[in-house]
Amino acid sequence: MTPTSTPKSSPARGRVHGTGRAVGVTAILLSMMTSSATIADEKPTIARPSAFPPPNTSHYLAGELTMVDHVNRMGILRPDRLDDYKKNHLDLPHHFAMLPYGTVTFHGAPATLKDVPLGTHLHGALHLGPKGEYDVALQPTDYQAQVRNQPNAFSPESPFNQALTLEDDFSFYQRRGKRWKVLSVDREQGKLVAELVDSKSPTKSPEKVPFPEEFDLEGPQTFDINAATRIWKGLTIGRLDDIAPGQETLFNLTWATIYGPGRITDLWLDKESQAIATERQRRGYLEHLKIYGVPVLVEKVDHHDKGAGTVTAHLYAGPDEEMLSEFRAKTNGRFIVVESNLRSHDQGNDAKGYRLEAIVGVDNPPPGSGGKRWTLHMSELLEGVRPGRTICLKAPNWSRVSIPREERLWPFDIRPQFLERGASPKKPPSS
């Protein structure tokens, strides 16, 4: 038995356990795949690595990052507690895998899972996995029987295991032009009271995956702070004494919904410190792209003589215009064939040349799209250059780099598979 959601106006609407966060709980029954947690009004859909999903069909989920395999772009979240969950369904692990066009945002800039510390509270837009990977039978038996049999190894929302976007609280609120206004602070008791407001100097960016405001925490909220909370003030490291009522802040959380809305791990007191955090992360991601390349979706391949061909590629979301400034028409670079988790076989030796012939914009780009289509000429088409596959492109001046052995798939994969690819849960035993 799975809890179903009710309309927003209903007093029975589910809320995050112990807080004022108004979030509906998803009905997982496949015959009822509509939910107030669905982003917009369309039904949530299965997402495949070979194509972008339709707009407004992803499912909202928030939780804390508890385990990560950054090489395979997989991880586990502990979902926020919802009052509609049965007690024995709280805190069950939510396995996820990043879609090849899925993005991670940290401190307001593109990131990889390696950049995000364990324990960070994240907001996600997720999709159903491939058919056969979303049957999670949560048993409605009594609590003692549940404990004895341990049948529930996955969260109630586990069908939604394909991540389109993941972002920390800093990014989630900054992107939407929001800030946390400090109302009061009690350093001795370790409490900070703040309220979500529209920023006086918003840095709102276009929402390719919109999140309705019903997911926001409403009214004054009491957050925990302690000696481990990192304070950032302008160009310097601050102190708890620097926190004052009236400041418009951003912060990241951990232990969200366990003892109230969460404990603050990092707190940025002003616009300057927030901008520094974003730029630092942005520069780090650019260095990542220079090593691994910019991922694109192969949409079409026109074969020519002697193994050559023309490839139409669709840029994935993530890199900004400045990061892509070195990709110009009539220039040459290298491409790398990768799997759907963006892992290459031996990119130091396998990289082949391409010529970027044309760049055009994409009208009404779908979720996961970077809004550009590139036409590439390749003198040698490799096996992995097929429609629906992903390749990574390196700009003309980006060096050929051999990556560490544990990241390569050739001659065989030596990385332990401690997380399941695609987060495919097995049916629990019957009671």
303 token code pair:
């074969």
Domain membership of residue 419 (yes or no) is: no
CA dihedral (198, 119, 284, 294) positive or negative? negative
The answer as to whether 427 is a domain residue is: no
Do residues 312 and 395 share a domain? yes
288 plus 299 within the same structural domain? no
Torsion region of 326: left, alpha or beta (phi above 0 gives left; psi -120 to 50 gives alpha):
alpha
Question: In which band, very low, low, confident or very high, does the pLDDT at 38 lie, cut at 50, 70 and 90?
Answer: low
Residues 253 and 396 in one domain: no
Rounded to the nearest integer, the mean pLDDT of the chain is 85
Residue, of 3 and 196, whose pLDDT is higher: 196
Is 400's pLDDT higher than 70?
Answer: yes
* Lowest model confidence (mean pLDDT) among 127-131, 188-192, 276-280, 343-347: 127-131
**DSSP per residue, 148-184:** HH----S-TTTTEEEEEEEEEHHHHHHHTTEEEEEEE
Measured CA to CA, the distance from residue 107 to residue 120 in angstroms comes to: 11
Domain membership flag for residue 423: no
Bigger pLDDT: 134 vs 189: 189
| pLDDT attached to residue 39 | 62
Biggest alpha carbon–alpha carbon distance for the chain = 75
What CATH number corresponds to the domain at position 320? 2.40.30
Q: What tens digit of pLDDT does each residue of 256-294 get?
A: 999 999 999 999 999 999 999 999 999 999 999 999 999
105 plus 138 within the same structural domain? yes
Lowest-pLDDT range of 35-39, 119-123, 190-194, 306-310: 35-39
pTM of the predicted structure, to 2 decimals: 0.87
Same domain, 317 and 193: no
Confidence tier at 217 by pLDDT (50, 70, 90)? confident
**Which tokens belong to 58?**
């992803």
**pLDDT recorded at residue 427:** 43
179 phi and psi angles, rounded to 5 deg: -140, 160
d(CA 320, CA 309): 28
Q: How many domains does the chain have?
A: 2
Domain boundary among 267, 292, 317: 292
User: Same domain, yes or no, for 124 and 258?
Assistant: yes
**Tens of pLDDT along 43-99?**
778 899 999 999 989 999 999 999 999 999 999 999 999 877 778 788 989 999 999
pLDDT band at 206 (very low <50, low <70, confident <90, very high): low
What residue numbers bound the domain in which 373 lies? 295-407
Evaluate whether residue 422 is within a structural domain.
no
- What average pLDDT does the segment 334-353 reach? 95
Q: Which of 40-54, 267-281, 300-314, 388-402 has the lowest mean pLDDT?
A: 40-54
Which pLDDT score is estimated for 129? 84
Quote the pLDDT of residue 70: 96
